[in-house]
Structure 1
Amino acid sequence: MPQPFLRQARTFALTGLACILAASAQAQVSGSAGIVSDYMYRGISLSSGKPAARLSLDVDGANGWFAGGQVVSGQLAPQSHHTAQWLGYGGYAQRLPSGLSWEAGMSAYAFHGAPDWNFREVFAGLSFENYSARLHYSPDYLGFRERTVYAELNGGGALGSNWRYFWRGGYLSAPGNAASNRAEGRIGVGTAVRGWQMQLSLDAARLRRQGIGASSGYGSTASAPSSKVRSKVVLGLARGF
């Protein structure tokens, strides 16, 4: 039976989408369904290094409100099989006359079969042309039992007529426990042909801790410390709709 938080996360995006669609007939709806060779999230694998299926939906309202969600067939290290991992988000964005845009909102994450990993974040960000920056805060992040702040920078551009490059740099900070801090990043290329989207990326992270405790999540105090840089090549294929 799903936990209450799981049910909340599954309805979070649907509620936001319904509000946007009711508020604006000009809302833009997009989504995709596909598979990734490894579901990497901020430098760690949430599919135990295995392929995962992913379905996502996004809605942008003409009045600035946005919402969306995704479900991934992930597999946490304590689990022996794939289970659903849910994400729902919603917020408000506004473009200024200078071309700079700002946004603020909230995200909710839920992991079926591992409710200790469930968490929420609030975020705020700025973007200009092909660059964006976001700051996220969670009072209890991903089973850490710690307050965390995650900062990220994103960018990209065109590579010819059909290809694009993209990159992200991020840093996770736990103010109460420096051993949980980590830096991570992604760089890659992508293309879209006749509705199909393909991405190839290199994900890397400098982890201060390694191992995932069965009861306390990633970053368990029983894990051995490490400062090694780990990297992974990830291939993704999706069909947009």
Structure 2
Amino acid sequence: MFVAPAWAQVSGSVGVVSDYRYRGYSLSDDRPAVQGDIEWNANGGFYAGLFASTVRPAYQSSGALWIPYAGFAKRDGHGRSWDVGIRWSHFDSASAYDYPEVHVGVAFRRVTIRAHYAQDYFGDAPGVYVEVDGGVPFAERWQLLLHAGAAHDVETGGAGTRFDVRAGVSLATRVCDVSLSWQGTRGETEYPYYPPWDPYDRGGWVLGCVHRW
């Protein structure tokens, strides 16, 4: 039996969402998805983990998305946490969409900023994605959730830029964190590749229940 060293921590989550929206678009064809995540954190700042979700890419059969990831995060003397990492997105029912992606980011008390780069975004074109996430408590066990992102298709320049937003609330209960948010996107619908979603699906409500440990 393996026993983790005292300086390592393992955390995770499991839950269900009414729609798995990724950067504004649905990867579950507007259907519910079951998701889970497990992460290992070392005292020195290194981390590694695996995220998984059921998906239904456009024009493909149902399957699962597996995202193994790893990185390094370190807090500076001003309370900011700097982060650099890499991950691999693998669709077991549509491997043509697989791609690796690297990121750099910084986290403040309530706001996280990250920039991502993929040479073969969804198996085809290079792309950059910048996002800002925030969480603001406003009552006991309640939190306001905010997100804004911008995706830029390097091959098409500004013509391939599109934006996504997410706004909602979450309630921490004994069973799970319950959240309700509206997620949507706007911008160009034409791409230099076929994405695994419907480009004309511009937004929708998402209800979720996630248990964390």
Mark yes or no: TM-score above 0.5: yes
Question: C-alpha displacement at 1:239, in angstroms?
Answer: 2.3
Q: Which of 72, 86, 95 lines up with 1:92 in the alignment?
A: 72
1:117 aligns with 2:97: yes
Q: How many residues align?
A: 211
State the secondary structure of the residue aligned to 2:202.
strand
Inter-CA distance 33–41: structure 2 relative to 1 (3 Å threshold): same
The structure in which a higher percent of residues are helix is 1
TM-score normalised by structure 1 residue count: 0.80
Which residue of the partner structure matches residue 48 of structure 1? Answer: 29
- CA deviations on 1:74-132 (whole Å, 9 max, x unpaired) are 1011124x201111111001111111221101011000121110001010001111111
Matching residue within 149, 167, 170 for 2:128: 149
Alpha carbons of 1:89 and 1:219: their partners in 2 closer, same or farther (altered >3 Å)? Answer: closer
SS at match of 2:121: coil
Is 1:240 the counterpart of 2:212? The answer is yes
CA distance in 1, matches of 2:18, 2:201: 20
1:201 paired residue among 172, 176, 181: 181
Which of the numbers 218, 224, 227 marks the counterpart of 2:195? 218
Rounded Cα–Cα distance in structure 1 between residues aligned with 2:203 and 2:63: 24
Separation of aligned partners in 2, 1:50 and 1:229: 13
Can you list the C-alpha shifts for 1:131-187, whole angstroms capped at 9, x where unaligned?
Answer: 1110100000014x2111110111111121111111111000112114432110111
Query: Quick one: distance in 1 between partners of 2:139 and 2:183?
Result: 23
- Which amino acid counterpart does residue 218 of structure 1 have in structure 2? P
C-alpha distance in 1 between matches for 2:106 and 2:212: 26
1:35 & 1:219 partners in 2: Cα distance?
21
Number of the residue aligned with 2:18: 37
User: Deviation of residue 229 (structure 1)?
Assistant: 8.5
Is 1:131 the equivalent of 2:111?
yes
- Give the unaligned 5+ runs of structure 1: 1-17
State the distance in 2 between where 1:110 and 1:181 align.
24
Does structure 1 conserve the Cα–Cα contact (< 8 Å) formed by 2:89 and 2:100? yes
Query: Is 1:78 aligned with 2:59?
Result: yes
**Aligned twin of 1:11:** none
Match of 1:102 among 70, 73, 82: 82
Amino acid at match of 2:59: P
Listed as ranges, the gaps of 5+ residues in structure 2 are none
Secondary structure of 1:116's aligned partner:
helix
Q: CA RMSD in A?
A: 2.5
Q: Does the CA-based 8 Å contact 1:207-1:229 persist in structure 2?
A: no
**Which amino acid in structure 1 is aligned with residue 60 of structure 2?**
Q
